[in-house]
């Protein structure tokens, strides 16, 4: 029996009347093998379909053609077929034909050749667990309900409460290492899986797993509602331990921060200020730090003020008490020879004698 | 009074029995010689699944992926209509995956000298065939492998003429090769799935 191609479907629909006007969706029959446990092949929804549909399938090497044993219904209309594990054979060409009948007329809608190993959608990973490693490193592990773990590849999606976008990382095994974690941030992790290229050729990713969280949650209220489901599968043992540890470490770091950046500079400034004040106010300290230049002018007040610096004529005779040579304010240094230099020397010799000093005219 | 025929001996003489014995053996022996290539496998890596998996995952799978991508680029509309006509179909039989891979790889080697197919494409296909046979340590019946694989692995210095595919006539050989590639890849997927160990926590 000749099966019309997809391009002839609209023409046939017009001929068959309005009963079949609501044809199957343009994408045709879509089959998905859920975790290799069961399969569903659907061709539309109850909103768009009104005819009576029936599905027949066969494998390339295994005839005869068999009708679906368990239909899927939506609003009293057949919209798909469910296949149990015993009816599924992978690595063999699989064909499906959907018959749409209405008012005694039947339309056959074929599907493309399918290989069921390329239509596998694994279940979402479970048991996400975070382990604290050395050197600010985290390790995320999980397990998969899919039986062949070596046929899977995974993607880890994560971000912190201070990030604006998600980061995706492809992983081949069931371990993901996060190299450098910030203890002040709050992280969220998701994982999903897909059949790898070694075991199939599929683009069907599983659903995202239940998330797991890590970090300091003190500033992350209302970060993302849908990403924090209250699931009983949440690893509570990890969540009850890590926030306490993180909180203690954070407090200690805060104390050190205040000491280093605030207290010590203020104390240093105050000490400096005190020293400056003391320096200015206490003359004894100032004198020690800044010694005065000797100024013998006090002892010669009479000479400079009364006698205008006339040492020989006016001032010496004025002295009434004999002076020893060591009492003289000026040292006995040889004077420069002048016209009256010898006389000056004589004068000085006389002054130095312990007898009464008598001035002699030069 | 006439004498009757002499009584027949109860058992035939040993001479006749030995002739029957050898005749029966002689008939069976040629049959065994004809059937033996079908049943026996000339692959020697049968039980070394770990080694096969390592070589497949690390080396051969990438070449197969490239070949499949090349096959998808060289689309030929007529291949969809003539999928089941005059095509030699190979199946990846259960419990005989290695033998199936051997058959597919040996069959693909014959496309290496088909001038109607793009040179680089058939060279890549031959490379995958030779890689499959090398990983599984298999030989082909007509010993085509040694000759073709030597040419494939040799440096590509010769610039042989490349014939463009005729536009009007459908290239049946090209369609056959595409089918063969698809079957080979699926069979490798099946074999890999079988030899992969189960996960630790199946039900979480």
pLDDT of residue A51: 82
The interface pTM score, or ipTM, of the predicted complex is 0.71
Q: Nearest CB to A150: which of B185, B186, B196?
A: B196
Between CA A318 and CA A307 the distance in angstroms is 10
Q: Do domains A17-118 and A123-222+233-241 have the same CATH topology?
A: yes
Contact B199 A197 (CB under 8 A): no
The residues spanned by each domain of chain A are 17-118, 123-222+233-241, 247-291
Q: Nearest CB to A145: which of B57, B186, B203?
A: B203
CA angle A87, A91, A97 (to 5 degrees): 55
CA angle B186, B187, B193 (to 5 degrees): 90
Q: For residue B178, how many other CB atoms are within 10 A of its CB?
A: 23
Task: Write down the mean pLDDT value for chain B.
Answer: 75
Indicate if the alpha-carbon torsion angle B49, B55, B58, B60 is positive or negative.
Answer: negative
- What are the structure tokens assigned to B170, written together? 């459908």
Residues in chain A with CB shorter than 8 Å from the CB of B203 are 145
Q: What percent of chain A has pLDDT over 70?
A: 65
CA A270 to chain centre: 38
Contact by Cβ (8 Å): A27, A41:
no
Q: Is the pLDDT assigned to residue A344 strictly greater than 90?
A: no
Residue whose pair of structure tokens reads 């993901």 in the numeric block? A176
Between CA A85 and CA A62 the distance in angstroms is 16
- SS3 at position A28: coil
Between CA B202 and CA B194 the distance in angstroms is 16
Contact by Cβ (8 Å): A202, A120:
yes
| Mean pLDDT value across residues B72-83 | 67
Residue range A17-118 forms a domain whose CATH class is mainly beta
- SS3 at position B88: coil
Pick the residue with more confidence: A31 or B17? A31
Between CA B88 and CA B108 the distance in angstroms is 11
Contact by Cβ (8 Å): A35, A123:
yes
What stretch of H or E contains A178?
strand A175-178
Cβ-based contacts under 8 A for chains A and B: 64
Task: Write down the mean pLDDT value for chain A.
Answer: 76
Shortest distance, CA B92 to any CA of chain A (angstroms): 8
CA B150 to chain centre: 19
Cα–Cα nearest to A139, from A181, A193, A178? A178
Contact by Cβ (8 Å): A323, A289:
no
How far are the Cα atoms of A20, A41, A98, B147 from residue A56, in angstroms, in the given order?
Answer: 19, 11, 6, 48
Residue whose pair of structure tokens reads 């897909």 in the numeric block? A194
Shortest distance, CA A62 to any CA of chain B (angstroms): 12
Q: Is the pLDDT assigned to residue A43 strictly greater than 80?
A: yes
Between CA B100 and CA B180 the distance in angstroms is 12
Q: How many Cα neighbours within 13 Å face the side chain of A263?
A: 7
Between CA B52 and CA B135 the distance in angstroms is 6
Residue whose pair of structure tokens reads 């919209």 in the numeric block? A79
CA angle A295, A298, A299 (to 5 degrees): 105
149-168 in chain B: CB under 8 A from chain A = none
Contact by Cβ (8 Å): B135, B56:
yes
Cβ neighbors of A186 (< 8 A, separation 6 or more) are A160, A161, A213, A214, A215, A216, A217, A219, A220, A223
Residues in chain B with CB shorter than 8 Å from the CB of A117 are 186, 189-190, 193
Between CA A248 and CA A53 the distance in angstroms is 66
Instruction: Give tens-digit pLDDT for B17-35.
Output: 666 666 665 665 555 555 5
Q: What percent of chain B has pLDDT over 70?
A: 58
Instruction: Give tens-digit pLDDT for A144-188.
Output: 999 999 999 999 999 999 999 999 999 999 999 998 899 999 999
Between CA A177 and CA A319 the distance in angstroms is 102
Contact by Cβ (8 Å): A102, A19:
yes
pLDDT of residue B193: 93
Instruction: Give tens-digit pLDDT for A228-272.
Output: 444 444 443 344 344 454 455 556 667 777 787 888 889 999 999
Contact by Cβ (8 Å): A307, A316:
no
Indicate if the alpha-carbon torsion angle B195, B201, B203, B204 is positive or negative.
Answer: negative
46-65 in chain B: CB under 8 A from chain A = 56-57, 61, 65
pLDDT of residue A289: 77
Q: Is the pLDDT assigned to residue A115 strictly greater than 90?
A: yes
| Mean pLDDT value across residues A78-82 | 94
pLDDT of residue B85: 52
Between CA A52 and CA A78 the distance in angstroms is 7
Structural domains in chain B, CATH included, are: 49-153+166-203 (1.20.1250)
Question: What superfamily in CATH does domain A123-222+233-241 come from?
Answer: Immunoglobulins (2.60.40.10)
Contact A127 B204 (CB under 8 A): yes
Instruction: Give tens-digit pLDDT for A190-231.
Output: 999 999 999 999 999 999 999 999 998 775 443 333 344 444
Q: For residue B1, how many other CB atoms are within 10 A of its CB?
A: 2
Indicate if the alpha-carbon torsion angle A200, A205, A207, A209 is positive or negative.
Answer: positive
32-91 in chain A: CB under 8 A from chain B = 61, 90-91
Q: How many Cα neighbours within 13 Å face the side chain of A71?
A: 17
Q: What percent of chain A has pLDDT over 90?
A: 42
Pick the residue with more confidence: A312 or A11? A312
pLDDT of residue A190: 97
């Amino acid at each position: 029996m000749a099966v019309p191609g997809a391009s002839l479907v609209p023409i046939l629909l017009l001929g068959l009347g309005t009963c079949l006007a609501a044809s199957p969706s343009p994408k045709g029959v879509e089959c998905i093998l859920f975790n290799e446990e069961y399969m569903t092949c659907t061709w539309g929804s109850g909103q768009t379909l009104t005819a009576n549909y029936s599905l027949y399938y066969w494998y390339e090497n295994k005839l005869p053609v068999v009708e679906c044993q368990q239909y899927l219904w939506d609003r009293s209309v057949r919209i798909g077929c469910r296949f149990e594990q015993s009816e599924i054979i992978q690595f063999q060409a699989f064909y499906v034909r959907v018959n749409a009948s209405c008012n005694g007329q039947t339309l056959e809608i074929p599907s493309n050749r399918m290989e069921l190993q390329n239509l596998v959608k694994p279940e979402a990973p479970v048991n996400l667990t975070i382990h604290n490693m050395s050197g600010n490193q985290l390790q995320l592990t999980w397990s998969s309900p899919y039986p062949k773990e070596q046929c899977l590849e995974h993607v880890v999606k994560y971000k912190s409460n201070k990030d604006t976008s998600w980061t995706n990382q492809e992983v081949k095994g069931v371990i993901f290492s996060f190299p450098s974690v910030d203890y002040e941030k709050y992280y969220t992790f998701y994982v999903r899986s897909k059949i790898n290229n070694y075991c199939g050729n599929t683009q069907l990713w599983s659903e995202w797993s239940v998330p797991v969280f890590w970090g300091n949650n003190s500033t992350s209220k209302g970060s993302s509602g849908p990403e924090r489901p209250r699931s009983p599968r949440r690893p509570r043992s990890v969540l009850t331990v890590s926030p306490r540890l993180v909180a203690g470490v954070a407090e200690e770091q805060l104390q050190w921060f205040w000491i280093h950046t605030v207290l010590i500079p203020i104390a240093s400034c105050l000490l400096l200020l005190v020293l400056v004040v003391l320096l200015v106010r206490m003359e004894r300290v100032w004198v020690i730090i800044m010694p005065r230049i000797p100024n013998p002018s006090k002892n010669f007040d009479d000479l400079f003020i009364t006698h205008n610096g006339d040492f020989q004529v006016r001032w010496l005779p004025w002295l009434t008490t004999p002076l020893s040579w060591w009492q003289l304010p000026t040292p006995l240094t040889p004077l420069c020879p002048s016209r009256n230099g010898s006389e000056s020397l004589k004068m000085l010799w006389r002054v130095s004698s312990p007898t009464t000093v008598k001035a002699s005219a030069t | 009074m006439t004498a009757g025929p002499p009584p027949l001996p109860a058992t035939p003489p040993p001479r006749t029995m030995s002739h029957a014995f050898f005749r029966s053996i002689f008939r069976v022996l040629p049959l065994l010689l004809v059937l033996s290539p079908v049943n026996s496998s000339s692959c020697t890596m049968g039980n070394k699944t770990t080694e096969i998996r390592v070589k497949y995952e690390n080396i051969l799978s990438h070449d197969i992926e490239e070949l499949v991508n090349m096959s998808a680029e060289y689309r030929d509309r007529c291949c969809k209509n003539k999928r089941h006509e005059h095509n030699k179909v190979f199946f990846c039989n259960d419990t005989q995956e290695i033998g199936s891979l051997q058959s597919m790889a040996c069959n693909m080697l014959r496309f290496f000298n088909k001038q109607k197919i793009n040179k680089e494409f058939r060279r890549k296909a031959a490379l995958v065939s030779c890689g499959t046979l090398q990983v599984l340590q298999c030989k082909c019946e007509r010993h085509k492998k040694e000759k073709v694989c030597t040419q494939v692995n040799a440096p590509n210095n010769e610039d042989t003429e490349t014939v463009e595919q005729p536009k009007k006539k459908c290239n049946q050989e090209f369609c056959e090769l595409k089918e063969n590639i698809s079957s080979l890849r699926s069979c490798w997927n099946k074999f890999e799935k079988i030899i992969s160990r189960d996960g630790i926590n199946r039900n979480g």
